[in-house]
């Protein structure tokens, strides 16, 4: 029995998701997205990554399920940003515009990956 190779869209989606996750780890733990370097609030972003790992395991890396997982990751990323701004976390080092802008980049990357996974599911 032959197994089908993943589509180009699927491979691009997986690459984009891994890239975004790596950069999230690097910024969150290294530089800090919220507040000064080493601010413990950045540990919340581990929840985004846990959702991704758990989702990938549950859906067995199938494209349609990965698309939903990446949407959940984007939603969680956005929720952390909104919560940080409303709670005033990271002030004075991270103004609200900076927090929202950095998190918007990750939301866009996760949603872009979700879109590519969805294309991979139909292609």
What 3-state DSSP class applies to 4? coil
pLDDT of residue 79: 98
59-88 pLDDT, tens digit per residue, is 999 999 999 999 999 999 999 999 999 999
Q: What's the confidence (pLDDT) of residue 3? A: 54
Q: Is residue 96 assigned to a domain?
A: yes
Is residue 53 a part of any domain in this protein? Answer: yes
User: Minimal CA–CA distance to 65: which of 4, 5, 2, 17?
Assistant: 17
What does pTM read for this prediction? Answer: 0.94
Alpha helices in the chain (DSSP H): 8-25, 45-59, 63-87, 96-122
Residue 90: predicted pLDDT: 93
Q: Structural domain tally of the chain? A: 1
In a domain, 97, yes or no: yes
Q: What is the pLDDT of residue 115?
A: 98
Cis preceding linkage at 92, omega within 30: yes
Q: What span, in angstroms and rounded, lies between the C-alpha atoms of 96 and 85?
A: 5
Report the pLDDT value the prediction gives residue 93, as an integer from 0 to 100: 93
The pLDDT of residue 36 is 87
As a whole number, the mean pLDDT across the chain is: 94
User: In the chain, which stretches have pLDDT less than 70?
Assistant: 1-5
pLDDT of residue 37: 85
**Which range of residues forms the domain containing residue 80?**
8-122
Name residues whose C-beta falls within 8 Å of residue 112's C-beta, 6 or more positions apart in sequence.
Answer: 16
Residue 2 forms part of a structural domain: no
Local structure of 11: helix, strand or coil: helix
């Amino acid at each position: 029995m032959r197994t089908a190779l993943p589509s180009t869209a699927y491979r691009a989606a997986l690459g984009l998701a891994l890239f975004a996750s790596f950069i999230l780890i690097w910024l969150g733990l290294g530089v800090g997205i919220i507040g000064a370097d080493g601010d413990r609030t950045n540990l919340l972003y581990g929840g985004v990554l846990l959702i991704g790992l758990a989702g990938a395991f549950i859906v067995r890396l199938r494209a349609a399920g990965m698309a939903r997982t990446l949407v959940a990751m984007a939603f969680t990323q956005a929720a952390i940003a909104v919560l940080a701004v409303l709670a005033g976390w990271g002030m004075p080092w991270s103004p609200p515009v900076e927090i929202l802008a950095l998190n918007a980049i990750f939301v866009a990357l996760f949603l872009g990956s979700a879109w590519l996974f969805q294309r991979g599911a139909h292609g």
